[in-house]
Every structure is written in structure tokens, then in C-alpha cells.
Structure 1
């Protein structure tokens, strides 16, 4: 099951993210240490909207068998670690802000990161990965990778991730509609990279994710 038109719309968002990073690097290159084999972002915990999970899944299965097998093994480890993180932060269930902060403090290796510290799906990596080294804004709050040289108290251009999230939600909802799913509310769910590559494509639109 492939959704070429939705994939093209998704890639518009990808280009928007790439262009934002490129412009920031041109203007603030000394603040951005991103380079080959810099993999701090590959240990960050984040979720994928359904459209992005399906896109990642589709391209993941074009990889060589050995790469896929090694990634699946790492994905199983990631799922175990994510369950541990979920258990640790469960004490903050009544405090969403503290819970989000707690998630951000944990580090879990992405299954797409190989032993050579390279992303095996780099050309099709998630939007969050493409923006990791520049200032972003979510719900009106700015954040940036701690390894950068952006200084507190100094104003910098900030990429508004909320606008991208709205588009990812819209595309995910359209994907569910095209797939004939009656559960359009799943468009708001976030899926881990590990589940995105381990779950059969058709099942991604049928399962529940937290």
C-alpha cells in the first residue's frame, strides 16, 4: 500500500525543513556543530505521525536484507528501553510538562543508526532529525540541541515546528481516509521509529500506539 500523492506533500515539508537548516547554517554556521558521525540526535526520543511512519517503513524495506535485520534487532532493544523510560516517568502522569521534560532527559539509540554511527536511511530520515541542530519552537517554547553554540538570552530565528505538526496531522488523517479506516483519530497518535520499521505497512494503520 503506497500513497504517492501524500508522499509528495510530505516531501514538501521535508524540503521546508532542509531549507530552514541550510539558511541557519549559512547565517549561524559557527553555532551549529553538526557533521558526519555526529549522532547526538540519534539518541533523542520522539514520535512520528502516521504519514511519516508509513513513509519511513516504505523506504526501510528497500534496504538490503542485512541492514534491515540489524536494524530490527536494534529496534527490539529500543522498544525495551522505551518501556523502561515509560515506567520511570509514569510517576509524572499528572504533570504533563514534567513528564515531557523527563522523556527529553532519556537517551535511546535509534535503530536506524548503524555501528559505523551512520543513518542507514539518511536520505529519508524524519523531519525532527533534519532540524535537530537549529532552534525550534513547539507550543511557543524554543529549544535547541545542547551541543550547539546558540547562547541563552540571544534572539535567533526559530523554526516553528507546530506548523509542520499540523500538516503532518492533516496528511495522516488523509492517509487513513484513503486507506478506508474508520479510526481517523489515529492521525493524532505518535509512533516510535522502532515500531514504524518493525510493523507491517498495512498494520501501521490498524494498531494503537502510545
Structure 2
């Protein structure tokens, strides 16, 4: 039976609705500072990761909308972008191993430009209605870990106080959905909900039972067998004789002291005595 992610996608869409409402408020209150418009694709070259529920949602919408040559072209661009990102992350890892300051490395990463595979030749997003949350807030002041960020093309000036979107709160909500999803589908990957990945990888991934670590009937059977093997075992003490009346004793309603065959000294229970 196919996995059903409806509950988690609906919760994600609720977060999206809240985020869109915040962006519209910025547009209404500070229209001269928000410079986003059709054809502006600065955010489509930014380097960022998305959460598990975002990745699965975008993947679903992409698979529903595209087929044929158009789909193949986007997947080719996704593969190209993924290889660029991989090289960049290797470069960052090498720099960290060399002991370069974190601020210097982050500055270098912030300047990296990787074209989003969903950005068409017309500089428009091919999946605009279902774009990730980072894309939806790009262009207004945000804060991550207490540090402010905004689009270079926006009219917001450095050193001036503006209302700011706390991305840590948004991220916590998205990670929370991912963790609930991991538990809900019974994934054996405990850290699945904490996953962050590039949008390019989200497009080329198949979010099936194998990838998500969902236990199959075979896995469940193994778990039951292991549990049976781990169950408490009653061992006979050396020299003890088999008790022919064990079945009768099990259904007996009398006190054990009334039965001569009930001799606790003849058995050893793993984990301690009955008195323990």
C-alpha cells in the first residue's frame, strides 16, 4: 500500500500560508523597500538547503506537473547543480580542516552562485506556486541564529532596524513536521526528520519505502523473532528433574504451598529470583 503523506503536507501548506501572509505584510507596509518582481531571479542562484517535508512536497508537485522532454531537461539541470554543490561542500570541508575561520568560510559560501534547476531560460520559476519557504521570504529581512540577512537588491539598509522574520522559528516548525513524519511512517532512520538537502537533490530523489527506511513485513518479522529470542528464559537447575505436572500447575487455583511439586529451589529465573 502506498504511503500517505497528506497530513504532513497539509501542515506544511499551513506554514506556507503563514509565511506568505508575512511577506504580503512587508509589501503593504514597506512597498518601496521590497523589490521582488517578475523576472528577478537573484534568489534563484542562492545556496541553501531545504527540510525533508519541503523536499518531499516539491518532489510530489514536480512529478505531478512535468513529464517528457521538459522533465528530462529539469532533471539534467538538477544533476548539474547537485554536482556543483557537492564540489563546493568538499571545498568548505577542506577549508575547515585547514583551520580557516568559520566567518571566512561562510562569507565564501554566501558568494557562491548555483543556478536553481527550476529556473527556466525565461528567468521564471517552473514551479513557482510550490517553491520552498526560503524562496518565499527572500527579499525581506530575516534572521538566522540572531544574525540578520536580506536580499542585496532590496531597499532595506544595513544598520537600520526593521521588522524581521525569525527563520529559526520557521525551521523548527518544518523540522517538527519531518520528525512526526518519521515516526508516523515507522522509519528506522531516527534522524530522518532532521534531514536538510539541496532542492536539486529533492527533485531527483524517489521518496519510496526503501529511501525513507520504512520497515517491510520481512523487517517486522525479524523484529518479532528477535523479541522472542530476548524473552525471559526459565532454566532448570543442575540435577533438577522435569516437572510432569507443569501444565496442571499453570491452571491451578490453589496456593503453591499446597502443592508438593511447586518447589522454587528447582528452577532459576534469569534476571533474579522470584523474591527480587
Fold shared by both chains (TM-score > 0.5): yes
Q: Distance in 1 between matches of 2:110 and 2:181?
A: 29
Runs of 4+ in 1 over 6 A off after TM superposition: none
1:146 matched to 2:152: yes
Kindly state the Cα deviation for residue 97 of structure 1 after the two structures are TM-superposed.
4.2
Work out which structure has the larger RCO, using CA pairs closer than 8 Å and 6 or more positions apart in sequence: 1
Q: Which residue of 1 aligns with 2:212?
A: 205
Query: 1:55 Cα shift?
Result: 0.5
Match among 84, 99, 118 for residue 87 of structure 2: 84
Give the distance between the partners of 2:57 and 2:84, measured in 1 at CA: 24
Per-residue CA deviations over 1:82-111 (Å, capped at 9, x if unaligned) read: 122123222135554443332211010111
Change (3 A) 1:32 1:204: farther
- Alpha-carbon RMSD across the aligned residues, in angstroms, is 1.5
- The equivalences for 1:44-123 within 5 A come to 44-65=46-67, 66-90=69-93, 91-93=95-97, 95-123=101-129
| SS at structure 2 position matched to 1:21 | helix
CA distance in 2, matches of 1:125, 1:4: 18
- The TM-score with structure 2 as length reference comes to 0.71
- Give the one of 184, 203, 224 matched to 1:178: 184
Higher helix share: 1
From the superposition, tell whether residues 101 and 204 of structure 1 become closer, same or farther in structure 2 (CA, over 3 Å).
Answer: farther
Q: Which moved more, 1:139-148 or 1:94-103?
A: 94-103
CA–CA distance in 2 between the matches of 1:25 and 1:15? 15
- Whole-Å separation in 2 of the counterparts to 1:9 and 1:43: 28
Matched ranges for 1:122-141 at <5 A:
122-141=128-147
Distance in 2 (CA, whole Å) between partners of 1:130 and 1:29 is: 16
Instruction: Structure 2: give runs of 5+ residues left out of the alignment.
Output: 214-276
Q: Which runs of 5+ in 1 are unaligned?
A: none
> TM-score if structure 1 supplies the norm length?
0.92
The equivalent residue for 2:174 is 168
Bigger CA radius of gyration: 2
CA gap 1:183/1:64 in 2 versus in 1, 3 angstroms: closer
